[in-house]
Structures are given as C-alpha cells and as structure tokens.
Amino acid sequence: MQNKQNKKHLWFIVGITILNAIGMTIVLPLFPFLLERYVPNNQIAVTMSALVSIFAICQFFASPIFGALSDRFGRKPILLVSLLGSAVGYLLLGIGGALWVLFLGRIIDGLTAGNQSALFAYVADRTEPNERGKWYGYLGGAIGIGFMIGPAIGGLLGTNSITLPFYVTAVITFVSMICIFLFVPESLKVEKRSKQISLKSFNTFLHFKEIFSISNAKNLIIMGAFFYVGLGIWQFNASIFLKDVFKWGTSFIGGVFILVGICDILSRVIILPQMLKRWNEQTVGIIGLLGLVLGLCLLFVSAFISSVFFIIAAVVCIVLGEGLFDPSYNARLSMSVDESKQGLLQGANQSLQALYHVIVPLGAAAIYTYSHGAVFGIAALLMIIGLLLFIKLKE
C-alpha cells in the first residue's frame, strides 16, 4: 500500500514538472518582443543576454543554500517558496513599466530557483536506489513535454498581447504551488533531516566545499562538468549552425526542434526504463555517452560535408544519448550521499549547471566565430573525456 502511495505522489510530481516546464517555456519566444518596449533594436540581444545571465548567477548562489535548507526543513516548504518566487518574477515581467522591473523579476526568480533541486531530492527520498534512474527519466520526459507545448502556447498568446503570456505563466506557477500545498506530502522524514542550521548554511562556497569533500560525489560532479559543457555547446550553437551552414529558415529549424522533443521523450520515457531492466545505470550511461560522442562527431563532419542525413543522424544520436545518460547520471549522483544531504547535493549540481549556462555561451560563441565546425569538435572531445571518466567510476 505504501509503495502505491509513493508512486501516486511521484506521478503527481511528474505532472507538476510538466506544468512548471510549460509555464517556464511559454515566455521563451517572447523576450525579444518584450524588450522592444524598453531598449533600441541594436541593444535587444545584449539586454536579453544580461537577463539570462543575472538569473543564472542568482541561481548559482541560491541553489546550494535552498538545497541545504530542504535537508533541514523538508522538500515541501522549499518547493513552495521557490514556486512563489517564480510566480512573483513572472508577474513583474508582465507588469514591467521599466527595465529595472524586468531585472528585478529575474533576480527574484533566480534567488528562489530551488524547485528543480527540491524535485530531484523528493524523488530520491521516495524511491529505492535501483528505481531512481527510471523516475529521473520520467522527470526529464515531463520537462521535454513542457518544452514542446510551452513555446506554442506562448506564440499563440503573444499574438494578442506580449504581456499576457507572462501573466498566464505566473498563474500556472501559482496553481502548481497550490497543488503541492494541498496534495503533495513531505518526503523527508524528520529523523533523516540535517540537525542544525547556522549562518554558515547561507555561504554557497561552504556548501560546495562540503559536497566536494565526499569523494564519490566529487568525482561524479567533475565528470558531469564535461558532459554538461559539451552538451551546452551543442544546445547554444544548434540554431545558428543550421542557419549559417545549411541556410535553413525558421520552419526547417523548428522541425529539427520538434524532432529533438520527440527523441527526448522517447528516450527518457520508453527506451530508458526498458534498458534499466536489463542493465545498471553505469552501462546505460556509457551507451548514452557513446551516442553523444557519435552525434557531436557527425555535427563536426557536417560543417565540412553538407548532408541532411548527417544532421538528422546527429540530432537523433545526441538527444537519445542525453536521454539515456542524464537520468542514469543523476541516479548515480543521488546514491553518492545519504538522505540528509540529498538537497545539498542536488542544489550544488543545479548551481553548477547555472554557472555553465553563463560561461558556455560566451566561450562557444568565440570558438564558433573562429570556426563553425571546431566548436563541435571541442564538444566531442569534452564528451570523450567525460566518457573515459565515467567508465573509471566505480559502481
């Protein structure tokens, strides 16, 4: 009976994740049009980059703190505070009136961006270690569904009003918060919580020091850096690469991203659970990384040999590979610490990913300007290093 209750609550968390992803991605296509009200056309790109960066920087400092707080007070309060911060942030973007209000909205959202780490910690609390890879795959699939639906809704709503989608996103986020408050029980038992909180708990770098003092966690996080940076290079450069090298327009590039969404959901929701029935997370992760290496190598080749086949094969290999590796990696990572440090671990991991989102676009853009193909060659090399490190890691 307890197992059925756990599964019911986990499926509810998956549903909340879909809602969050839809809400977050509704506004993605609209930022350039919103910024037209506040800055000249030649400053939109720079301002948009600043908005993205300020959110990521705030998330970098806040995620480990929220993760540690969830270890002390439970996952549910942190989820509620995080979602409330996001709702307020989106509401401020809709209200606007001045550029500083937009930045304030992104700062509030970034400083309370602990919902994903709390969700991952919730799954770790509610599952046995051998089931986590599957459920992390379901969470990733839920995010993929949201990323397919959200931009379409945003584009449709944006035709009537640029600010309307921001209000809708705030409402969706607030509804998610109410649903968690009413229907989702706390997952972290009192006896398994960390015992104290102090001023040191609000020092981001001390949290990193604590996590990196745990050998297994440190090795996995270092390995993960190669994966996330290599993946980020592909994600940041994909659209501009197809535009510059293949001369594709928005409809063809949009078709590629539909393929990305389909492959992402297929790999995480259908293929991954079946593979985990036969192999452990280590083996499935290695298969996923091999797919990523192959896909990035195909992209590198396609910069010199223009072939639609290479592009399609590359996208399929990269997305399927990511869908197999990412949940397997997160399952392995969750097993590197005990229950009392799951929030801290997931917060540190999300914080580092936010840092990669600041650094990778800058470095990738510089390399891409020099050579369209070289950037994917470097990404493939980083992924190969990640693969070798992952193979060396012990179960």
Per-residue pLDDT tens digits for 332-363: 888 888 877 888 888 888 888 888 888 887 77
Q: Is 358 helix (H, G, I), strand (E, B) or coil?
A: helix
Q: Are the CB atoms for 248 and 311 separated by under 8 Å?
A: no
Higher pLDDT, 241 or 169: 169
DSSP string across 175-215: HHHHHHHHH----S-GGGS-S---GGGG-HHHHHHHHHTSH
Q: Is 291 helix (H, G, I), strand (E, B) or coil?
A: helix
Query: How far are the Cα atoms of 22, 76, 207, 263 from residue 348, in angstroms, in the given order?
Result: 25, 18, 7, 28
On average, the pLDDT of the chain sits at 84
Give Cα 62 distance to the centre of its chain.
16
Whether the predicted pLDDT of 23 surpasses 70? yes
DSSP string across 136-181: HHHHHHHHHHHHHHHHHHHHHHHTT-SSHHHHHHHHHHHHHHHHHH
How many residues are there in the chain?
395
pLDDT at 251: 64
Phi, psi of 249 (to 5 degrees): -90, -175
Whether the predicted pLDDT of 116 surpasses 80? no
Q: Which residues of 189-214 are buried (b: 16+ CB within 10 A; e: fewer)?
A: eeeebbeeeeeebeebeebbebbeeb
Q: Which residues of 303-316 are buried (b: 16+ CB within 10 A; e: fewer)?
A: beeeeeebbebbbb
pLDDT at 1: 43
Query: How far are the Cα atoms of 44, 103, 118, 149, 265 from residue 32, in angstroms, in the given order?
Result: 6, 14, 31, 20, 28
**Number of H helices and number of E strands within the chain?**
16, 0
pLDDT in tens, 250-301: 567 667 777 888 888 899 989 999 998 898 888 999 999 999 999 999 989 9
- Helix, strand, coil fractions of the chain, as percent rounded to 5: 85, 0, 15
Give Cα 234 distance to the centre of its chain.
14
Q: Are the CB atoms for 206 and 68 separated by under 8 Å?
A: no
Give Cα 306 distance to the centre of its chain.
31
Q: Are the CB atoms for 264 and 140 separated by under 8 Å?
A: yes
Q: What does the alpha-carbon distance between residue 293 and residue 313 come to, in Å, rounded to a whole number?
A: 12
Instruction: Pull the structure tokens for residue 215.
Output: 């050998």
pLDDT at 316: 93
Q: Whole-model pTM? A: 0.81
Q: What does the alpha-carbon distance between residue 238 and residue 248 come to, in Å, rounded to a whole number?
A: 12
Q: What does the alpha-carbon distance between residue 13 and residue 246 come to, in Å, rounded to a whole number?
A: 40
Q: Are the CB atoms for 177 and 80 separated by under 8 Å?
A: yes
Q: What does the alpha-carbon distance between residue 363 and residue 353 come to, in Å, rounded to a whole number?
A: 15
Instruction: Pull the structure tokens for residue 13.
Output: 């968390």
Q: What does the alpha-carbon distance between residue 375 and residue 245 come to, in Å, rounded to a whole number?
A: 13
Q: What does the pLDDT average to over 130-144? A: 85
pLDDT at 342: 84
Instruction: Pull the structure tokens for residue 311.
Output: 């592009």
Report helix angle 374-392 to 215-245, nearest 10.
Answer: 160
Q: Calculate what percentage of the chain has a pLDDT beyond 70.
A: 94
pLDDT in tens, 47-99: 877 887 888 888 888 888 888 888 888 889 988 998 999 899 999 999 988 99
pLDDT at 37: 87
- The pLDDT-based confidence of 2 (bands split at 50, 70, 90) is very low
Q: Are the CB atoms for 65 and 198 separated by under 8 Å?
A: no
